[in-house]
Amino acid sequence: MLNANYEWNHVDSEDEATIDEVASKFNVSPVTAKILVGRGYKTDDAVDKFLHPKLDQCYDPFLMHDMKKTVERIQSAIEQGQQITVYGDYDADGLTSTSLMYETLLTIGANVDYYIPDRFKDGYGPNTDVFNRLIDNGTELIVTVDNGVAGNDAIDVADKKNVDVIVTDHHELPEKLPDAYAIVHPRYPGADYPFGDLSGVGVAFKVAWALLEEFPTELLDLVAIGEIADLVSVTDENRVLITYGIQQLRMGMRPGIHELVKIAGLNEQTLDETNIGFGIAPRLNAIGRMGSARPGVELLTCLDDEEAVSLATEIDATNKDRQNLVAEISSQALEQAKSDENNSREALLIAGNGWHTGVLGIVASRIVEQLGKPTIVVGIDEKTGLAKGSGRSIEGFDLFKAIDGHRELTEAFGGHKMAVGLTVKTDMINELRGCLDQSATDQRLSDLPKQSLQITSELTPDEANLDLYNEIEKLAPFGTGNARPIFSITKFKLDNIKQIGKDNSHLKLSLDGSETKLSAIAFNKGELAPLLVDNDNVKIAGTLDENEWHGNTNIQLMVKDVKISGIPVIDERTNHLSIKLFERDSTYVCFNHTVIKQLSQMNLNIQLIDAKEIQSGQLNNLEVTVVDCPPDLDAFRDLFKQGGKPSNIRLLLYQNDDAYLNGMPTRQELGKLYKFVNTHHDVNLRTQLDTLSSFLKINRNKLIFMIQMFFEVGFVKIDDGVLNGVDNPSNVDLKTSTAFNNRQQLIESEKVLIYSNSTDLRKWVLDCITSD
């Protein structure tokens, strides 16, 4: 059995009358109407605004707190020729916010420059030293974008030097707000702005709109990138801004973005939120993770085509470096996360020497995604003795709270319940790890329910077609608050199951319906491949995507979750034991002491158990790898009768004898050996066995069995490896010997377990395990 990562909840469709009405009035399919109604869009007005967003649905910027004060101060600075500095941030939302505000101020004649903090030197938000330096260099007004509400100290420094600071931000408001000249924030306490989920660039856009005194449609391309990158809600006003921003991006008006789209291999004319979220935003984020993010603003604001090509090439190269770093560190961190020490932990703190701190948030997210455990990843600087990094959590576990009560162990710490950043002395890591363990217990992490996966409806592969996809696209752009619909696929047969990617970490497969083959991709689920082969007990849920290849367009399922009922049986039968076979996190069971000895000499870091020593229930809910073929079928049955039901079974069934192929010795072969031992003396089996096998023309393993059987019944004697016949032995029926019966049972065991086809093998194993 493979439990799903999520709790699958099928969307309630009891309001059938409203669904039918929406489908009829707005000419959409019942599936689309069901999604709309399920998401609360039930009235004609609500559905119409959702399906047909218009610019006049955007709210008046002057409804936002301190907007009038902000506009007047900036206009005053322009009239007086004061130097204005836009103080931004190094992520995609911060870079687009900075670019938008900088362009706007230039347009209305301001004397303006901008500053992007360095993640590693300046940190996030207003920095006291930087503010001092800017003011000393002539700055007379500072406008923050995508930061500032927590910049009390730096803003106080500016205030003491008689320099006003206007804060435009969207982040969580602290208890004590800074003493800024103005604070423009969509959720400012006591203000009545109708929509609180704008991103930093959304807030900056509002300021630009107010300053320009008209709706600046030409800036919406920047808004779309920043809002999508920052994962804000794609509802209400944001839906309008992003929809029109995507249209603006498709026009390719900005040389820098145009070149970045081209170098990313995207089709500019069909750009959508997915392309932006996975193609453009990561490249902009990468430069701030790897060094100075200033080239990001230069790219977004440049007008020269040659400069655009150069900057886009530089940024793309930086992103590739970032990808390589993430892949390398993720591999090392995941290996740590799966170690015996961490397997039993509910929350993880992973540390590595020299890990680049700019990418550790991504690494932590990947571990959380794969293992479902809250994870902090830190990089150790041996020169300073400090470890710095980031943490990511899961719904229901407050990671900020887990560390907040132990700030004395850290040198720096901040964040919120789902994400943290921290710096800690290396000799404090283990103590902090213990605090994380205790918090997992205190917050009852093990009792948390699974995250919910909202299933829109069930589909067969035949129903997952282009018509349905095009219908669903009427609900785009998708994102937070407007998730792409997830479907559970039914009535399919799995085929063409392949592991793909450099490290085989991804999965490609086909879900075959009665008429259509639905191709599917499952990222980071490559290890499931062997569990799915010839398995009819699989349920798959995912989203529909359009895939174009060589001019042909078809529908592809992007797998979100997989459920496997029953016990998967993985057929990996082999006649050679290589180290690669023992890389899985599994419980390895052996029947043969010779094989156990062979494995011990391979220096494998595995849990290896002698089948004869299995304790009651020891194998329950574990992946069990049966390394070798049992001497008889009852030994296999007894293994699971005693050990319990595993989560899945992996069968290597190594055997170096081939008793089934060699069979039982013939009467002629037995006669040959009997005659030989009575006419030859002192045969050294240690040195002459192969010679004897060749001479008698009897397979070596079969010959060993025959000698063992002769020894048991008293036909031969063996003294210190030297074979001799016995004079006048008693008449004995060889079929009554233990060796004969053991051979027969081994042949039957090999017939069933080694020389059967995969389907029959799986059926026999499952019958064996599930029968009482």
B/e letters for 168-182, b = 16+ CB within 10 Å, e = fewer, are bbbbeeeeebbebbb
Q: Are strands 552-564 and 517-522 parallel, antiparallel or unpaired?
A: parallel
Q: From 1.10.3720.10, 3.40.50.1820, 2.40.30.30, 2.40.50.460, which CATH number describes the 7-13+451-564 domain? A: 2.40.50.460
Residue 1: predicted pLDDT = 60
Statement: residue 535 has pLDDT above 90: no
Q: Which two tokens stand for residue 225?
A: 């990138």
Q: What mean pLDDT do residues 506-535 have?
A: 91
- Spatial neighbors of 673 by CB under 8 A, at least 6 apart, are 665, 696, 698, 703, 706, 707, 710
Measured over the CA atoms of residue 58, residue 59, residue 61 and residue 64, the dihedral's sign is negative
Whether cis (ω within 30° of 0) applies to the bond prior to 189 is no
Domain with CATH 1.10.10 in the chain: 660-750
The CA dihedral of 43, 47, 50, 53, to the nearest 10 degrees, is -100
Q: What is the pLDDT of residues 310-350, one digit of tens each?
A: 999 999 999 999 999 999 999 999 999 988 889 889 999 99
Scanning 539-696, the segments in alpha helix (DSSP H) are 593-600, 633-643, 659-662, 667-679, 685-696
Residues in the chain: 772
Residue 613 in 3-state DSSP? helix
Q: What mean pLDDT do residues 568-593 have?
A: 92
Beta strands in 405-505 (DSSP E): 410-416, 419-425, 452-459, 486-489, 493-500
DSSP string computed for 217-276: GGGHHHHHHHHHHTT---SHHHHHHHHHHHHHHHTT-SHHHHHHHHHTT--GGG--HHHI
Q: How far apart are CA 400 and CA 393, in angstroms?
A: 9
Residue 297 in 3-state DSSP? helix
Residue 431 in 3-state DSSP? helix
Cα 450 to its chain centre, rounded Å, is 16
Q: What is the pLDDT of residues 373-431, one digit of tens each?
A: 999 999 999 999 999 999 999 989 999 999 998 989 999 888 888 988 899 999 999 99
Q: From 3.90.550.10, 3.40.50.980, 3.40.50.1980, 3.90.1640.30, which CATH number describes the 57-250 domain? A: 3.90.1640.30
Q: How far apart are CA 608 and CA 602, in angstroms?
A: 12
Residue 543 in 3-state DSSP? strand
Neighbours of 138 (CB within 10 A): 11
Which H or E run includes 116? none
**Which residue's entry shows tokens 């995609």?**
92
Q: What is the pLDDT of residues 248-305, one digit of tens each?
A: 999 999 999 999 999 999 999 999 999 999 999 999 999 999 999 999 999 999 999 9
Q: What mean pLDDT do residues 9-31 have?
A: 89
Are 473 and 559 in contact, with CB atoms under 8 Å apart?
no
Are 399 and 393 in contact, with CB atoms under 8 Å apart?
yes
Domain with CATH 3.10.310.30 in the chain: 345-447
Domain with CATH 2.40.50.460 in the chain: 7-13+451-564
Fold of 660-750: Arc Repressor Mutant, subunit A (1.10.10)
**Residue 590 amino acid letter:** C
In this prediction, residue 487 has a pLDDT band, given cuts at 50, 70 and 90, of: very high
Q: Which two tokens stand for residue 23?
A: 């489908």
Which H or E run includes 140? none
Q: How far apart are CA 310 and CA 316, in angstroms?
A: 10
Residue 723: predicted pLDDT = 95
Measured over the CA atoms of residue 654, residue 655, residue 658 and residue 660, the dihedral's sign is negative
B/e letters for 541-554, b = 16+ CB within 10 Å, e = fewer, are bbbbeeeeeeeeeb
Residue 573: predicted pLDDT = 94
DSSP string computed for 16-79: HHHHHHHHHHTT--HHHHHHHHHTT--SHHHHHHHHS--GGGSPPGGGSTTHHHHHHHHHHHHH
Are 215 and 58 in contact, with CB atoms under 8 Å apart?
yes
Q: What is the pLDDT of residues 220-253, one digit of tens each?
A: 999 999 999 999 999 999 999 999 999 999 999 9
Statement: residue 771 has pLDDT above 80: no
Tell me the pLDDT of the chain averaged across its residues. 93
- Spatial neighbors of 99 by CB under 8 A, at least 6 apart, are 222, 296, 297, 300, 301
Residue 586: predicted pLDDT = 92
Q: How far apart are CA 92 and CA 90, in angstroms?
A: 7
DSSP string computed for 83-94: EEEEE--SSHHH
Statement: residue 82 has pLDDT above 90: yes
Q: Which two tokens stand for residue 667?
A: 């009467």
Q: What are phi and psi of 721, to 5 degrees?
A: 85, 0
Residue 503 in 3-state DSSP? coil
Q: How far apart are CA 471 and CA 489, in angstroms?
A: 18
**Which carries the bigger pLDDT value, residue 61 or residue 550?**
61
List Cα–Cα distances, 429 to 387, 518, 583, 737, in angstroms. Answer: 8, 48, 28, 64
Cα 159 to its chain centre, rounded Å, is 46
Does the domain made of 345-447 have the CATH classification 3.40.50.300? no
Residue 668: predicted pLDDT = 94
Q: Which two tokens stand for residue 34?
A: 């069901």
Q: Please give the span between the terminal C-alpha atoms of the chain, in angstroms, as a whole number.
A: 18
Cα 240 to its chain centre, rounded Å, is 30
3-state secondary structure 268-282: HHHCCHHHHHHHHHH
Scanning 122-190, the segments in alpha helix (DSSP H) are 128-136, 152-160
**Which residue's entry shows tokens 């730096």?**
154
Which H or E run includes 124? none
DSSP string computed for 689-743: HHHHHHHHT--HHHHHHHHHHHHHHTSEEEETTEEEE-SSPPP--GGGSHHHHHH
Strand ranges of the sheet holding 164-168, from the earlier edge strand across to the other edge = 111-115, 83-87, 141-145, 164-168, 182-184
List Cα–Cα distances, 82 to 138, 139, 180, 305, 446, in angstroms. Answer: 9, 8, 18, 31, 58
- Spatial neighbors of 307 by CB under 8 A, at least 6 apart, are 255, 298
Q: Which two tokens stand for residue 740?
A: 């004969």
Residue 726: predicted pLDDT = 93
Domain with CATH 3.90.1640.30 in the chain: 57-250
Residue 772: predicted pLDDT = 61
Q: What's the Rg (C-alpha) of the chain?
A: 34
Are 650 and 687 in contact, with CB atoms under 8 Å apart?
no
Q: What mean pLDDT do residues 518-544 have?
A: 90
Residue 252: predicted pLDDT = 95
**Residue 474 amino acid letter:** K
Q: What is the pLDDT of residues 5-16, one digit of tens each?
A: 888 998 877 688
Q: How far apart are CA 579 and CA 106, in angstroms?
A: 64
Cα 699 to its chain centre, rounded Å, is 52
Q: What is the pLDDT of residues 418-473, one digit of tens each?
A: 988 899 999 999 999 999 999 999 999 988 888 889 999 999 999 999 999 999 99
